Amino acid sequence: MPATTRPGQSQGFMPPHVLERILSHGNARLQRCAQATLKADAQFRLRNASQAAARPADGKRGGEPARYIYTAAQQEILPGERVRSEGDPETGDLAVDEAYLWLGATYRFYWEVFARDSIDAQGMALLGTVHYGEDYDNAFWNGAQMVFGDGDGELFNRFTVALDVVAHELTHGVIEREAGLIYADQSGALNESLADVFGAMVKQHHFEQAAEEADWLIGEGLLTDRVNGRALRSMAHPGSAYDDPVLGKDPQPGHMDAFVNTASDNGGVHINSGIPNRAFYLAATRLGGFAWEAAGPVWFDALRDPRLARDADFATFAEITVRCAEQRFGADSPVVDAVRQAWVDVGVLR
């Protein structure tokens, strides 16, 4: 049985199977980068995240974020030196200014769409540390703040480059507070999927993209032009994001018939999340328009539903989304049919 992740432990964006693949197929430098990243990630899982940073003031009024960006200056320290605070002008450092911008975009999405005031719904300050470590190939939310590596420059760009990476990780904080889904097996894959679902919606909301025109890629822009791939995951077509000599082939399934039984990656949480990811994509595109107007509220209601147990499997979550669609839109609404059919199409419901 894979070990579970306790509340407050880091959940990195980079799937461990990708780093493990680099250890066996990358050049000497890439292997060192992957090994150092895995080591740093393991150390963070043993730390108490609440002690990771002395917290500055939270936001005072709903709708107004409180953002604080720090630099670790290539060291493995947190939070580092503060280099930009809420309302400060751009610094000219791409990582600093991207982190500030994307933290704000994520805050605005949750506030404007769900009237949620930050991660904890109480104006929690959003902290981000950039330039963490040397060639660090990951980004994560550790329960207290965001941490971003600069990437190795050969396979991965800086981890502030993609809005959905930031939104994905911040959403882990929302999930932790609302559902506390155990980070293992199907509940862990749901945890990862929900982070992808809301990460994709944040990106679409920021760029004003309808479901039909969005790319539904997670981590688009993160891969360098040396990699044969478009992103780390595809919600529309799981398993198609990359196929590269070093990274291997995207292992995500899009249907329960291809569900991966594995003891690694906490029971395949970054792999089997492709199944509920595709279900959301199908529901959102079937309904059309903006994903956050119909399918999004259903998934948000399901995340906050008291019937969602910490160890919920895919089928339990699917049934809850159908009931939430009925409660929000009415039993005869096309939203209900779209949600139910999406889960049928991926083999979770019959």
Residue 246, CB-side half-sphere exposure with 13 Å CA sphere = 19
Half-sphere exposure of 233 (CA within 13 A, CB side): 31
In which residue are the tokens 């060192």 written? Answer: 32
**278: amino acid identity, one letter:** R
Residue environment code for 175-197, b if the CB has 16+ CB neighbours within 10 A, otherwise e: bbebbbbbbbbbbbbbbbbbbbb
Q: Tokens in use for 213?
A: 């025109």
Q: What span, in angstroms and rounded, lies between the C-alpha atoms of 160 and 227?
A: 18
Catalytic residue positions?
169, 270
Strands laid side by side in the 146-148 sheet: 11-12, 139-141, 146-148, 126-130, 67-71, 81-85
**Cβ contact 317:301 at 8 Å:** no
Of the CA atoms within 13 Å of residue 302, those in its CB half-sphere come to 28
